[in-house]
């Protein structure tokens, strides 16, 4: 499977949906994770406009006011979602690959800016991963860097990075090499850059797919593809 993750910063613009649909087609995407839909009633989302005419299934988390909102869309011919966990800051689709029936859990993340809320999120994710079996892939906007070089023209927060890295170590996650760009977010004034969007996977996923890569595309945070 190929995965696409993007912080869309508002799903109301039809041009964004067209762009994502084109990327899906060009890169043979099978699972799309969207952050910041900003829809308080996600039932009104035109999910098909992001995916196209082929068969799909989806689920969502509503935004809180103008903040957040998560949307997962996938090809049910490849991934069967058995259950899901909805949280303000993450949407977990827990299931299995149709071919081979291997358990796979995919978590779409939009982390908060507040450090205390981030710590709560990391703990919630640890509890989630300890409560379910199978391989794990966590992707999305983590709103946190791991090292000073992942920021440019902005202040590094060592405590936030330490907490984030500790979470990654506790659940033994790994990160694929990123190609295409060194950063995934640029400030509105074009002066500050950060790497806050990423793909993290468990060791069993990594051992089965060691040659995957993460690629940054213009206006889209992440694509993972063979």
- In this predicted model, what pLDDT tens digit does every residue of 100-142 receive, in sequence order? 889 999 999 999 999 999 999 999 999 999 999 999 999 999 9
Which regions of the chain are under pLDDT 50? 219-226
Q: Which helix (H) or strand (E) holds 7?
A: strand 3-7
- Reference 33, options 84, 99, 77, 82; nearest CA is 84
C-alpha dihedral (115, 169, 122, 83), degrees to nearest 10: 160
Residue 217's pLDDT is 66
At 209 the pLDDT is 80
pLDDT score of 225: 41
Give the per-residue pLDDT at 32. 97
Give the CATH number, domain containing residue 163. Answer: 3.60.10.10
Pair of tokens at residue 43: 């039932």
Domain of residue 47 covers: 3-225
Q: What is the pLDDT of residue 191?
A: 87
Could you give the CA distance from residue 181 to residue 103 in angstroms, rounded to a whole number? 32
Q: How many domains does the chain have?
A: 1
Structure tokens at 72: 């997962």
């Amino acid at each position: 499977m190929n995965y696409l993750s993007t912080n869309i910063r508002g799903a109301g613009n039809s041009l964004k949906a067209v762009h994502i649909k084109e990327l899906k087609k060009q890169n043979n995407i099978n699972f799309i994770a969207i952050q910041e839909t900003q829809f308080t009633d996600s039932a009104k989302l035109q999910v098909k406009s992001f995916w196209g005419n082929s068969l799909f299934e989806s689920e969502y988390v509503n935004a809180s006011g103008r903040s957040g909102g998560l949307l997962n869309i996938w090809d049910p011919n490849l991934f069967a979602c058995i259950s899901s966990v909805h949280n303000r800051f993450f949407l977990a689709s827990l299931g299995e690959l149709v071919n081979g029936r291997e358990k796979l859990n995919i978590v779409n993340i939009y982390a908060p800016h507040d450090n205390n809320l981030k710590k709560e999120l990391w703990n919630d994710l640890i509890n989630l991963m300890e409560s379910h079996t199978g391989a794990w892939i966590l992707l999305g906007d983590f709103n946190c860097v791991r090292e000073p070089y992942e920021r440019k023209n902005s202040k590094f927060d060592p405590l936030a990075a330490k907490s984030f890295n500790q979470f990654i170590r506790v659940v033994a996650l790994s990160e694929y090499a990123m190609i295409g760009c060194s950063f995934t977010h640029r400030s509105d004034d074009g002066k500050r850059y950060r790497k806050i969007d990423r793909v993290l996977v468990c060791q069993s996923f990594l051992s089965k797919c060691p040659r995957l890569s993460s690629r940054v595309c213009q206006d889209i945070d992440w694509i993972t593809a063979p």
